A and B are shown apart, each in its own frame.
Chain A
Amino acid sequence: MEAAVRTSGLRKAFRATVALQGLDLVVPTGAVFGYLGPNGAGKTTTIRLMTGLLRPTSGTAEVLGLDVATHPDEVQRRVGYLPGRFVAYPDLTGAEYLRYLAALRGGVDWSWVEQLAERFDLDLGRRIGTLSHGNRQKVGLVQAFMHRPDLLVLDEPTTGLDPIMQAEFLTLVGEVSRAGATVFLSSHILSEVEAVADTVAILRAGVLVRTATIPELRAQVVRRWDVTFTDEVPVEVLRACAQVAEVRVRDRTAHLVLAGSAEALLRAVAPYGVENIETHEADLTEVFLGYYRHEEEEPWPVA
């Protein structure tokens, strides 16, 4: 299947800084792709290159099979875009703003716009200038989804949304993805995309650090188990397990740090009389923190 987005050697330098250094990224068609990185990593730069708002210093960005630099209008027709800082005309009502964009785009089914507004509990009759930040963001989301684009490019889409609306947004992303659209969304918060993304890419200081599926990342998750035995802890058996990274013993309980599958461990300890196993659910965030901590920068926001 053709990639929805393919960048090769995509580089963007601004006057004093290099925002993106040779990005090679492939977003499969139909995927929900989480684009993660701390503030200033180059997420917005990538998105603005993909939507044709910036021109690459070198390299190319192909979106829906078209080079953005040479076919910006064709790409822009088929993309739904939510800017990182979405601003609409404050003197228009939500309905007027969306009618305007619908007129410019053509072929928008207005009943779908009303459905979207309904789902986000957005009052289209109010002037955008009088709306709260969260409600303005909803206007931005509706305009991105309203023409049923083949590719949605959403820069930090859940900014300002309350948890209920975030959930509604994720449901919507799931729906359009099942209908065949590709969704590319950036975030600096991992837990936000974890539930909905098939694949995530981690960007740091303009460099792609890792691309992985969520299951692949989960396999790397470091978990903490407390295993209590009926008798003495078989320390040597535990240490012999490849997946056990760390063992600390206290009375009859072993505090383990487990990396990867627990299958071998369970088989090994079964003969020794296991009284109780307590697991501490690990956050995928910790995996990311691992990538992130290589450099001393601002701390990763954990939500």
Chain B
Amino acid sequence: MASRVMPAATAATETPFFLRSVYLKSLRDHRHGLIGWSVGVGLLVLTESLIWPSFKDMPDIEKLFEQYPEYMQRLFDVSAMTSGLGFINAELFTLLLPALFLVYAIGRGARLVAGEEEDGTLDVLLVTPLSSTRILLEKAFALVTSVLALGVALYAVTLACSAAIGMGIGPVDAFSGCLSMVLLGSEFGLVALGVGAATGRKSLAVAIPAALAVAAYVLYVAGLMVESVDPWQHLSPMEQALASGPLGGGLPLDFLWLALGCVLVTLASLPTLDRRDIAAPG
């Protein structure tokens, strides 16, 4: 043994910071993904921003948008596309970025419990003094923190691009857009975490919130197209997140519904692990 060269890890005399709690360990597990996604989202915003100067110089652009059906004008807020803010909002914040935040959050959320259970690492984690409620709560906080970190990255890159290219997106405008992405992603990511905790199956933990997100989007779009659906669309988290803009839409009260949704979904998932059998890894 003495002859063996021990890497530095063994020499560590105390627990590494990111291994001190389930919360920190879960964040640690997200670090590579978070960096990759931040870079990806950053490049996306940058690319779109670089298109803006040539787009704005296109002649008769407003006439083109006037030909769009009315619901599409509202859906993508195209009338505002003549400004940099409006362009970035329509191109990114109304569909692409929400979808990316949903994919990120649902993927992480599904892995947090169902992924650990399928891998087989959950067994030992549960047979500790920590209650399953505490473990779920720490993982839920880690998920929201992780989505928030992606939101912060988006905020920074949006402001930087706007400043560099002169798109006129102010700090408050960017804040409302990014907060909307974070809240929307968190809510569906927490659904994924909850479904994973309730079923132990990663496939369901991805499929159910993804289906719900699509349903929420359909409800939102249908509300814009069909008058009779209109009152119902306000139930859709998509409507709550996107209807105000979301870039430059201020801080609508609808965001509170999203936050409330996050809290309710988390509370609903807390008792699920204690109520069922944990699958043996096989």
Query: Which residues of A come within 8 Å of B, CB atoms?
Result: 44, 48, 51-55, 72-74, 76-77, 79, 81, 83-89, 92-93, 95-96, 99-106, 118, 121, 123-126, 140, 143
| CB-defined A-B contacts under 8 Å, sample of 10 | A53-B126, A55-B275, A72-B274, A76-B128, A79-B127, A93-B9, A96-B9, A96-B16, A124-B9, A125-B9
Whether A53 and B127, one on each chain, are in contact in the complex, defined by CB atoms closer than 8 angstroms, is: yes
Chain B residues near A104: list those with CB within 8 A: 21-22, 125, 128-130
Chain A residues with Cβ under 8 A from B22's Cβ? 104
Whole-angstrom distance between the alpha carbons of A104 and B9 in the complex? Answer: 19
Residues of chain B in range 195-237 having any CB-CB distance to chain A below 8 Å: none
* Contact call B280/A83, Cβ cutoff below 8 A: yes
Using CB atoms, name the residue of chain A closest to B126: A53
Among B25, B127, B131, B282, point to the contact of A85 (Cβ < 8 A). B282
Say yes or no: is B64 at the interface (Cβ < 8 Å to chain A): no
Q: Chain B residues with Cβ under 8 A from A124's Cβ?
A: 6, 9-10
In the assembled complex, how far is the CB of residue B106 from the closest CB belonging to chain A, in whole angstroms? Answer: 22
Q: Smallest CB-CB separation from A124: which chain B residue?
A: B10
A84 lies within 8 A of B280 (CB): yes
On whether the beta carbons of B280 and A85 are closer than 8 Å, the reply is: yes
Q: Does B120 contact A (CB under 8 A)?
A: yes
For A88, give its contact among B124, B126, B130 (CB under 8 Å).
Answer: B124
Q: Is B92 an interface residue (CB 8 A)?
A: no
Shortest CB–CB separation between residue B139 and chain A, in angstroms?
A: 13
CB pair A88–B121 under 8 Å, yes or no, is yes
**Does any Cβ of A come within 8 Å of B69's Cβ?**
no
- A206 CB to closest chain B CB, in angstroms? 16
Residue B278 at the A interface, CB < 8 A? yes
Residues on B with beta carbons closer than 8 Å to the beta carbon of A54 = 277-278
Chain B: interface secondary structure? loop
Most buried by B among A77, A89, A92, A102: A89
Does B12 make an interface contact (CB < 8 A)? yes
B124 touches A103 (CB 8 A): no
Please tell me if the beta carbons of B280 and A101 are within 8 angstroms of each other in the complex. Answer: no
Chain A residues whose C-beta falls within 8 Å of the C-beta of B123 in the assembled complex:
53, 81, 83, 86-87
B interface residue count range (under 10 / 10 to 19 / 20 to 34 / 35 or more): 35 or more
Q: Told that A53-B127, A55-B276, A99-B14 touch, could you supply 16 new A-B pairs with CB distance under 8 A?
A: A53-B278, A54-B278, A73-B131, A76-B126, A77-B128, A79-B127, A81-B123, A83-B280, A85-B280, A86-B123, A87-B281, A89-B121, A93-B7, A104-B130, A123-B4, A123-B10
Contact residues in B for A84 (Cβ distance below 8 Å): 280
Q: Which residues of B contact A121 (CB under 8 A)?
A: 1
Which residues does chain A contribute within 8 Å of B127, judged by CB atoms? 51-53, 76, 79, 81
Residue B20, interface by CB 8 Å:
yes
Q: A52-B127, A93-B10, A99-B16 are in contact. Are A85 and B281 (CB under 8 A)?
A: yes
The 4 nearest A-B residue pairs measured at CB:
A87-B120, A77-B129, A125-B7, A125-B10
Bound Cα distance A77, B130 (Å): 8
Which residues of the other chain, B, contact A73 by a CB distance below 8 angstroms? 129-131
CB of B15 closer than 8 Å to a CB of A = yes
- Complex contact A87–B278 (CB within 8 A): no
CA distance A106 to B122 in the complex (A): 18
Q: How far is the CA of A118 from the CA of B6 in the complex (A)?
A: 13
Q: Is residue B19 within 8 Å, beta carbon to beta carbon, of the partner chain? A: yes
Chain B neighbourhood of A83, CB < 8 A: 120, 123-124, 280-281
A52 to B280, CA, bound (A): 12
Per-residue A-contact encoding for B103-146, CB less than 8 Å = 1, 0 else: 00000000000000001110111111111100000000000000
**B277 x A99 contact (CB < 8 A):** no
CA distance A93 to B278 in the complex (A): 26
Chain A residues with Cβ below 8 Å from B125 are: 104
Q: Are A99 and B126 in contact (CB under 8 A)?
A: no
Q: With the chains together, A84 CA to B126 CA distance in Å?
A: 15
Cβ–Cβ < 8 Å partners of B282 in chain A: 85
A106 and B129 contact, Cβ closer than 8 Å, known pairs A81-B124, A95-B12:
yes
A51 to B278, CA, bound (A): 11
Which of chain A's residues have a CB closer than 8 A to the CB of B9? 93, 95-96, 124-125
Question: How many whole Å from B111's CB to the nearest CB in chain A?
Answer: 12
Interface residues of B in 1-39 (CB under 8 A from A): 1, 4, 6-10, 12, 14-16, 19-22, 25
Check A99 against B19 for contact (C-beta < 8 Å). Answer: yes
Give bound CA distance, A87 to B123, whole Å.
Answer: 9
Q: How far is the CA of A245 from the CA of B22 in the complex (A)?
A: 62
Closest CB of chain B to A140's CB: distance in Å?
8
